[in-house]
Amino acid sequence: MKFEQHQSQQQKQVQKLAMTQQLQQSIQILQYNSEELFAYIEAKSLENPLIDIQTETNYGDFPSSSNKTYSNEENNYLNQIPDNHTSLFEYLIDQIHLNYRDTYLRTLVLFLVEYIDLNGYLMIDLDEATLKTGAKSIEMLDALTLIQQLDPAGVGARDLRECLLLQVERDDTAPALAYIVIEEEFDHLANRKWSLIAKKFEVEMSEIQTIFDYIQTLNPAPGSIFESTLGLYIRPDLTLRIKENQLNVISNRTGTPTIQFQQAYFERMEAIDDKEVQEYIKEKKNEFEWLEKTILQRGDTILRVGTEIVQRQQQFFFKEDRPLKPMTLKEIAEALDIHESTVSRAVNGKYLETEFGVFELRSFFSNGLSNETTGEETSTSSIKKQIQVLVDSENKAKPLSDQKLVDLLKEQEIEISRRTVTKYREALGIPASSKRKRYDN
């Protein structure tokens, strides 16, 4: 009797452990984005012979915008991704073998390339490189010079200043004084002490402004163009259809993996008169059924959450300025009677495809500030948008101070402090008014 009781307790513990593991996996699957989900299912299919992966690849048609006509070529986001699978390292190696003869100097060049980071900068000091290779200092400098003659312009630089100089010296359209100003007065230029530069070179402030504007067109991280397409391909989980002013959210099956049960294989294995085989095939069938159910639940949860978000943010989809209402995870959770953490997992890394772009679901959430006059809430994103509009339209010769922005927002019945304006301005990447001043003629 004691043995039976012990066995029963052990079975319950094992079942409880299995249920706990499956619950954790279900939570993880909801959190996965499309790419991660596909990788997970693919890994499961390698472990379970009863799982067969099917992927829909028909992208179908997408409705044209009412105020702009898109061609199929333009509207297919796959065609907007550069066909560039070469890494910076591979690109440099190819150029080295193509342009430089097999000499000792090329050996040093190949050594230094190993220390070029993803942004294109050299991450080893030449003195250290000399010690590691036993080369002469002049030989190592020559090797670096050869690297800096490769594409993209600016590669092999040891700091930002050198990176910009390498790009300027290759550009015939660069302003006349650009190179020498960067070379001799880079800090003063960056810190906007332009009057000192203008006085030194005996030029007008407008000419320094032209040089500064030109530098903004240069690439501070030339190697990053080779990494810019990584992760760019997004499979939207949901698609929004707008018809007769009605918003309809549907699950996007494009590229989404589905699983099918390998019935024929199951029947062959089931016919084998072996206890271990029978237990194995039963376990794998249960695993398939659980995975199928979990994937469906994931899709259903994302659809429910996405639909609720769209219904609460209707103005965003109908108005051209894309206003957002204040909305929290808690509000969606209460409306759908699910946990707030479930909403968080359902919106992170999940995307909604619309006629005018693809948006991550979490981007529709925004805390609000209460307006003391009207009692209504204005979303932080809307306030940031107003700040951006005001800055974009300001007189650049007399840019708006943060206090002036506060006053102008107040005229729009948006009551916020100067400190809050400063915080939002910095979040938008907008410099202070002293650094926005321009000196155009």
66 token code pair: 């009412």
Do both 254 and 282 map to the same domain?
Answer: yes
Q: Which amino acid is at 260?
A: Q
Residue 55 has phi, psi (to 5 degrees) of -125, 125
Do both 354 and 242 map to the same domain?
Answer: yes
Domain-located, residue 69: no
Q: Final residue of a domain: which of 176, 194, 221?
A: 221
pLDDT at residue 422 greater than cutoff 70: yes
pLDDT at residue 18 greater than cutoff 60: no
- Domains in the chain, number: 3
Domain-located, residue 408: yes
Mean pLDDT of 122-140: 94
Regarding predicted confidence, which is higher, 368 or 97?
97
Q: Domain holding 423: CATH number? A: 1.10.10.60
Domain-located, residue 346: yes
Domain-located, residue 293: yes
- pLDDT above 70 covers a percentage of the chain that reads 82
Pair 112, 147: CB distance under 8 Å: yes
At 85 the pLDDT is 55
Residue 247 has phi, psi (to 5 degrees) of -95, 125
Mean pLDDT: which of 9-23, 76-90, 252-266, 276-290 is highest?
276-290
Domain-located, residue 392: yes
pLDDT band with cut points at 50, 70 and 90 for residue 227: low
Which residues lie closer than 8 Å to 148 by C-beta, 6 or more apart? Answer: 155, 156, 157, 166
Regarding predicted confidence, which is higher, 378 or 257?
257
Query: Using alpha carbons only, how large is the chain's radius of gyration in Å?
Result: 30
* CA distances from residue 438 to 59, 97, 172, 207, 288 in whole angstroms, order as listed: 48, 46, 25, 11, 64
At 91 the pLDDT is 92
pLDDT band with cut points at 50, 70 and 90 for residue 79: very low
Q: Final residue of a domain: which of 329, 364, 399?
A: 364
Q: Nearest CA to 217 among 167, 257, 259? A: 167
Calpha distance 190→196 (Å, rounded):
12
Do both 300 and 392 map to the same domain?
Answer: no
Pair 45, 52: CB distance under 8 Å: yes
At 356 the pLDDT is 84
pLDDT at residue 187 greater than cutoff 90: yes
Looking at 167-171, 210-214, 317-321, which range is the least confident one?
Answer: 317-321
Do both 342 and 300 map to the same domain?
Answer: yes
Do both 202 and 308 map to the same domain?
Answer: no
Q: Final residue of a domain: which of 318, 344, 364?
A: 364
Calpha distance 115→161 (Å, rounded):
19
At 358 the pLDDT is 87
30 CB-side CA count, 13 A: 23
Do both 303 and 341 map to the same domain?
Answer: yes
pLDDT band with cut points at 50, 70 and 90 for residue 45: confident
Do both 284 and 320 map to the same domain?
Answer: yes
Domain-located, residue 427: yes
Do both 342 and 307 map to the same domain?
Answer: yes
Domain that holds residue 382: 376-435
Do both 269 and 359 map to the same domain?
Answer: yes
Domain-located, residue 167: yes
Three-point CA angle 222, 228, 234, nearest 5°: 175
Do both 210 and 252 map to the same domain?
Answer: no
Do both 212 and 323 map to the same domain?
Answer: no
Q: What spatial distance separates the first Cα and last Cα of the chain, rounded to whole Å?
A: 99
Do both 262 and 285 map to the same domain?
Answer: yes
Calpha distance 303→253 (Å, rounded):
12
Calpha distance 101→107 (Å, rounded):
10
